[in-house]
Structure 1
Amino acid sequence: MKKIIIKNTDLEIALINFGGNVFGWTLDEKQSFSILDAFHNKGFNFIDTADTYSWWVNGKGGQSETIIGNWMKQRGNRNEMVIATKVGSQTKEHGFDISKKHILKSVDESLQRLQTDHIDLYYTHFDDDTTPVEETMEAYAEIVKAGKVRYIAASNVSPERLRESFDVAEKNGFPKYVALQPHYNLVERQKFESDYEPLVKEFNLSVFPYWALAAGFLTGKYRTEADFSKSVRGEGVRKYMDDKGLAVLKALDEVSAKHNSQPATVALAWLLAHPSITAPIVSATSQNQLQTLFDAPELQLDAEDLQLLDTSSL
């Protein structure tokens, strides 16, 4: 199993980042344990979650972290895992919030649910666009110094506020973000490539794109309007069912047939072939879906494959 080091850290990860939003939502604890066992047994070790997953079930969240914490405790494998979680997202109980008060409270709650004494990678999930950047970065400095968090990262933060975060950290000697978690995949390219990739290069960030399979659209299971009812995410992919989306699916079909693979595997391999991408975040709810994830780091796309996929997704 090939592993790499997250830039500016000592965290070693395999090339697929499992998205824990399904835990406590489409998977109960027993099912989650089965998926986690299979993921770990194949040599993968990087799990992404958030303090608010799955708030849409109970209005509060915390289910995903709780399940992951219970699994690590039962398996005794905390030291083998790299755990990323997040702070700042909106729930029915509170709005977006990256104030110092909220961060200090939330990190302790996440540690309790995860049943661990430290979080490897702690993200600003959503910027509230209100809290001064200095306050947020000071809060992170405090929890890193206390040993509660190893490294910090950013997700839904504007390019302007992201740059300001680096300026503030540099000026004050605070920890700096080591990674970015953007929305990026074959049908969502422009924002990352135009607004964020230059910052990724400038600040030497590792990149873990979320919705790597566009909420399932890039698996190829949605081909007609009738397919939207196939899953709870179905309606969320309707926006991709246009000429561009269909062209991407056609290209994925062609490349996957050439390699005797699956569209989802090819879509992930395309991300992994991108020099700025470190490990895509992707979920699975069955053993068959897991296999498409496992196959992605092993699939080497050639120049012809990449050109076809690039052209279809412009």
Structure 2
Amino acid sequence: MKYSVLGPTGIRVSKVCLGSATFGVAPSSQDADGVVGAALDLGINFFDTADVYGSTPTFDRPGFPPASQRESAEEILGRALAGRRDEVVLATKSGERRFDPDAGLSRRYVIQQVEQSLRRLRTDHIDVYYGHFPDPHTPLDQTLAVYDDLIRQGKIRYAALSNHPAWQMTEALWIADDRRLVSGPVAAQVMYSLLDRNAEKELAAACTRFGLSIVPYAPLHGGILADLSVLDREIAGGKRFGGPGYSEAEIAVARELDRLAREWGLGMQQVSLAWLLSRPAVASVIVGAETPGEVRANASAADIELTAEQLDAVSALTADLAS
């Protein structure tokens, strides 16, 4: 496993981060220990979760208990990391409003959620704490002030922002400097893949300029950039967790990527992740895994270094998405 320094923190994180959005469903609560253990054994030291992961209807699947009866991903991950907490950089989030109209990034809500996350994760601190989505009802300076208080209390180590546009990331840095906060946001978590390159329009340049890291989620675009059999499952009505259908253009890109990967003697997921890790400001990519085998397959991408010609060939597949 190879490592990157996360933004201005000085801490080294594995270039592949294990996400836990579907913990409790895939893998099941019983199988999560094996998935987390495999990640640790492979040198993955970066783990990502959120207060709403695992126990919301988004991740319902036939044959599994409904959301209201499932453990949260934080509970499952906290148990799986028992005895090895100090080996990892643990990130979680709060502020998604989809399932809770009271959610957001207010002082009251953030403090409440940090306390609950600490309990569920069985830890006394969170290494990286993200504001999950922008909150139109709470001024950004108030959110950064509560993060600053929590840092000073030792409950979180660093603050970060997820799904925030470049202008808000820049504003957050200005606020942190103006108010002399301990730290501004150190990273931006955002959807980013070969088939979704919106981050390259403004966010990547801002993060590069100010020394922040990008931590992409959905780097395999629902699995289509990992394995073309995902298309077969979709045709059969077995889309993973209600993900979006794929356009003809996306399918065409995936098929050409598969051809290139085979020509180079690599797997699609290796090429997809290696390409993304080569992009400016990207420190680590968040991947999900249902089995230890999937962890191993994704982790191998950190050791792949594509040539300049190979990177250009992959970039050319979706050059229009970066403009």
TM over 0.5: yes
CA deviation string 1:130-169 (max 9, x = no partner): 2011110110010000000000111112333222211211
**Structure 2 CA distance for partners of 1:15 and 1:224, relative to 1, 3 Å:** same
SS of the residue corresponding to residue 186 of structure 2 reads: strand
Which SS does the other structure have where 2:131 is aligned?
Answer: strand
Q: Please, which runs of 5 or more residues in structure 1 have no aligned partner?
A: none
Partner of 1:102: helix, strand, or coil?
A: helix
In structure 2, the partner of 1:264 is 269
The match for 1:158 among 144, 165, 180 is: 165
For each residue in 1:182-207, what CA deviation from the matched residue of structure 2 results, as whole angstroms up to 9, or x when unmatched?
11100001x21112112112221111
Structure 2: gaps of 5 or more residues: 58-65
Give the letter aligned to residue 252 of structure 1: L
Structure 2: distance between partners of 1:160 and 1:15: 26
Whether contact under 8 Å (2:225, 2:254) holds in the other structure is yes
Report the 3-state secondary structure (helix = DSSP H, G, I; strand = E; otherwise coil) of the residue aligned with 2:282.
coil
Which residue does 2:39 correspond to in 1?
39
Is it true that 1:58 corresponds to 2:70 in the alignment? no
The one of 289, 292, 310 aligned to 1:305 = 310
- SS of the equivalent of 1:181 reads strand
Corresponding letter in the other structure for 1:107 = V
1:49 alignment counterpart = 49
- Which residue of the partner structure matches residue 221 of structure 1? 229
Q: Distance in 2 between matches of 1:8 and 1:308?
A: 32
Counterpart CA distance in 1 for 2:236 and 2:89 is 34
Larger RCO, structures 1/2 (Cα 8 Å, 6+ apart): 2
Q: Is the 8 A contact 1:186 1:267 kept in 2?
A: yes
Question: TM-score when scaled to structure 2?
Answer: 0.89
Mapping for residues 1-314 of structure 1, pairs under 5 Å? 1-54=1-54, 55-56=56-57, 57-58=66-67, 63-73=72-82, 76-174=83-181, 175-189=183-197, 191-219=198-226, 220-223=228-231, 227=235, 229-233=237-241, 235-238=242-245, 240-243=246-249, 245-314=250-319
Distance 1:33 1:94 in 2: 33
Distance 1:60 1:48 in 2: 22
Identity rate, percent: 30
Aligned residues: 308
Change (3 A) 1:228 1:99: farther
Whichever residue aligns with residue 118 of structure 2, its letter is L
Which SS does the other structure have where 1:101 is aligned? helix
State the Cα deviation string for residues 179-234 of structure 1 (Å, max 9, x = none): 01111100001x2111211211222111110101111121222335853523433x
**For structure 1, which segment, 116-125 or 282-291, has the greater mean C-alpha deviation from structure 2 after superposition?**
282-291
Aligned-residue CA RMSD (Å): 1.9
C-alpha displacement at 1:20, in angstroms?
0.8
Contact 2:271–2:301 (Cα < 8 Å) also in 1: yes
TM-score (norm 1): 0.92
Q: SS where residue 130 of structure 2 aligns? A: strand
Q: Which residue of 1 aligns with 2:61?
A: none
Q: Could you tell me how far 1:295 is from its partner in structure 2?
A: 1.3
Between stretches 301-310 and 220-229, larger displacement belongs to: 220-229
CA distance in 1, matches of 2:3, 2:100: 39
